[in-house]
Amino acid sequence: MNTDNYPSRLLEAATSEFASLPGIGKKTALRLVLHLLKQDLADVEKFSSSILQLKKEIRHCKSCHNISDTDICNICASAKRDHSIICVVENIKDVMSIENTHQYSGVYHVLGGIISPMDGTGPGDLNIKSLEEKVAAGNVKEIVLALSTTMEGDTTNFYIYRKLQKYPLTISIIARGVSIGDELEYADEVTLGRSIANRTLFEASFNGGKTG
Amino acid sequence: MNTDNYPSRLLEAATSEFASLPGIGKKTALRLVLHLLKQDLADVEKFSSSILQLKKEIRHCKSCHNISDTDICNICASAKRDHSIICVVENIKDVMSIENTHQYSGVYHVLGGIISPMDGTGPGDLNIKSLEEKVAAGNVKEIVLALSTTMEGDTTNFYIYRKLQKYPLTISIIARGVSIGDELEYADEVTLGRSIANRTLFEASFNGGKTG
């Protein structure tokens, strides 16, 4: 269905706002808008205000740059977390992913992106300076690099490594290897090669690779 | 990614609002919300108000029940349309679809649904009474039924037919048959059977089946 003939300018405006979201085409946008139009006014007001309120009131944790309702996020404020281990991630989704594994009890540092000359993102655009300040202040024993395995991720890892190598701490990187449940014959060569080169002691695999 | 560990209640609220939309899961909702969060406040305000304004200010055409910015929609208000032919459709998307074919110059009547005992929708919930009133007022020569080819659509067609058969007008139904571009061997038996039973004169196919 072509969607050029809107019977209403208001409908067209709302549809085009939804169609500006990533992965939402004109057809889906129209479907979503018509769905909302069928809801009660109170529900539409709740929908509409939820996103505006988020945008207006959201804060970034002053310590780890994760988004938060408060100046210091729950993780950074928690006495149960090990503040001497900092896991460096690209964005808040990565924090949520790692939190969901329940395998990590340190704190985080959200870079807000990775170094990508193609997208015009340089080290100055990322939260790297504040990471170095945290490390320079002492009390940090380990930095765990958990960025994407892409050229940009590798570049960023190396940049951070160069900045921090003068400090007395361990810089580790999350293990790369064959995914659990994957069959070897379907693993790509680079991953399989890396998983052989970085093989670990069989006994160490008993504790599920827990860290922190 | 499991999305249970929201770092912010505001983020969780906005994500759950988006996830309430049809076909949008928690993951997609989070992606959309984070995308909006990256936009300027003015853009988020525009997004937020577009849907609220639509809900608050939208009207339904008093004649055809299509949604409209005015009391009478553009189609019903147009002197270029043939007001003696009324095409009965389920919803406003169907109006847009038919308008996009540029093959119809009559007016519409939007039922606002179809008779569906499973969903609790009876004839009284639909705009059928106002259709009969329009017909009873005279000046209507033809009613074109353009509902879905489902049991509900057929039931609704038959209900409308029974209501209107006492009036002196033609009641037609859109042609069902093998889609243009489809190969016969892939057409389902019911459709193919219907397309043979309802075969038309070859000469009549020259004008592209224009009506109205």
Mean pLDDT of B153-166: 92
In a domain, A68, yes or no: no
Beta bridge partners of A60: A67
Q: Find the residue in A nearest to B54 (Cα).
A: A10
Query: A92 vs chain B: nearest CA distance in angstroms?
Result: 8
pLDDT for B174: 86
Q: Cβ A41–B49 below 8 Å, yes or no? A: no
Query: Do A47 and A113 sit in the same domain of this protein?
Result: no
> What is the interface pTM, i.e. ipTM, of the complex?
0.78
pLDDT for B3: 45
In a domain, A167, yes or no: yes
Amino acid at A181: G
pLDDT tens digits along B20-46: 999 999 999 999 999 999 899 999 999
Give how many domains chain A has, as a whole number.
2
Q: CA A190, CA A59: separation in Å to the nearest integer?
A: 40
What CATH number has the domain bearing residue B21?
A: 1.10.8.420
Q: Cβ B45–A35 below 8 Å, yes or no? A: no
Amino acid at B74: N
Q: CA B176, CA B100: separation in Å to the nearest integer?
A: 19
| pLDDT level of residue A107 (50, 70, 90 thresholds) | very high
In a domain, A132, yes or no: yes
Task: Classify each residue of B154-185 as buried b or exposed e, where b means 16 or more C-beta atoms within 10 Å of its C-beta.
Answer: bbbbebbeeebeeeebebebeeebbeeeeeee
Question: Is B50 in CB contact (< 8 Å) with chain A?
Answer: yes
Q: Find the residue in A nearest to B55 (Cα).
A: A37
pLDDT for B200: 72
pLDDT for A1: 43
Query: Do A109 and A152 sit in the same domain of this protein?
Result: yes
pLDDT for B1: 43
User: Could you tell me if B157 and B144 are in contact, meaning their C-beta atoms sit under 8 angstroms apart?
Assistant: no
In a domain, B137, yes or no: yes
Per the structure, the complete domain to which residue A52 belongs is given by 9-57
Query: Do A102 and A169 sit in the same domain of this protein?
Result: yes
Q: Find the residue in B nearest to A30 (Cα).
A: B93
Residues 14-33 of B with CB under 8 A from A: 14, 17-18, 20-24, 28, 30-33
Residue A3 has pLDDT above 60, yes or no: no
What CATH number has the domain bearing residue B131?
A: 3.40.1360.10
Query: Do B107 and B151 sit in the same domain of this protein?
Result: yes
In a domain, A198, yes or no: no
